[in-house]
Chain A
Amino acid sequence: SQQGEEDPQALSIQEGENATMNCSYKTSINNLQWYRQNSGRGLVHLILIRSNEREKHSGRLRVTLDTSKKSSSLLITASRAADTASYFCATHLTGTASKLTFGTGTRLQVTL
C-alpha cells in the first residue's frame, strides 16, 4: 500500500544544530504535510506544501518538495530541546478524497 517513508528513522543532534528529515512517497499527490508528535500526545500540523510548490517556510521550518523524485525534506534550523519529538510526513493522494497516508516517522532527539 502507498506509504511515505521517512529517513532517517532516528536522529540525535545538539541544540543549535540543524535537523534534516526526508520523506519519499510512491504515487502522485495533491499535497504533502508534515506533523510533529510529542511522546504520548496528538499530532500537531506543521506545514502543508502543495504539489505545484517547491519550497515553503514557516519560522524555523523549511520544507521542499520534488515531485519528479517523489520526495520532500523538512529542515529545522537552530534546533531546540523542545523540538524533540517524532516527525511524520503525510501525503494527500490524488483522488483519495482527503485521507492522509502517513509515513513511519523520524524520531528527533535534541540534546543540550
Chain B
Amino acid sequence: NAGVMQNPRHLVRRRGQEARLRCSPMKGHSHVYWYRQLPEEGLKFMVYLQKENIIDESGMPKERFSAEFPKEGPSILRIQQVVRGDSAAYFCASSPTVTEAFFGQGTRLTVV
C-alpha cells in the first residue's frame, strides 16, 4: 500500500502564474487535508475534503486558492496568480477516519 503521494516534489513558478499541486491519498482513504508550512514554522490547516465535497475550508485564503477532490483522480490544490508570499511547503494528508492522518512528502513551491 503506497503512502500518500504528492507531486511535484518541487515547483517553481513566476509571479502571476498558476500552481497546481496534486495529492493521491492512500488506498481506501476518503478524507484528504491540505496544510501549508512556512520556513521554521509548524503546519497550518488549509482545507479538509471528502470525495467531491469540501468539508472545512476555514484555513484557505479567500482569494486565489481553491481545492477539489473529484470522484476519480487525485486531490488538487490550485493557486492562481501566485505571489512570493505563497512560497512554502504544501503537505497533503489522508485518513480512513477522523483520527490519525498520514502525510505525503510535500510539494515545495517557490515563487520567483
Name A's B-contacting residues (CB within 8 A).
3-4, 31, 33, 35, 40-45, 48, 88, 90, 92, 96-105
Contacts and interface: CB of A to CB of B under 8 A. Distances in A.
What is the interface of chain B mostly: helix, strand, loop, or mixed? strand
B99 A31 contact: yes
20 contacts: A4-B42, A35-B103, A42-B4, A42-B104, A42-B105, A44-B103, A45-B100, A45-B101, A88-B42, A96-B56, A97-B48, A97-B56, A98-B33, A99-B45, A99-B56, A99-B58, A100-B45, A100-B101, A102-B35, A103-B42
Contacts of B99: 31, 48, 92, 98
A104 B100 CA distance: 19
Nearest to B42: A102
Contacts of B56: 96-97, 99
Contacts of A98: 31, 33, 48, 95, 98-99, 101
A99 B43 contact: no
Contacts of B42: 3-4, 88, 102-105
A99 B105 CA distance: 18
Interface residues of B, number: 27
B64 interface: no
A56 to B, nearest CB: 13
Interface string B85-112: 0000001010100111111111010000
Contacts of B35: 100, 102
Given A102-B42, A102-B44, A104-B42, A97 B103 contact: no
A92 to B, nearest CB: 7
Contacts of A105: 41-42
Most chain B CB inside 10 Å of its own CB: which residue of A41, A100, A105: A100
Most buried by B among A31, A35, A45, A99: A99
B12 interface: no
B97 to A, nearest CB: 8
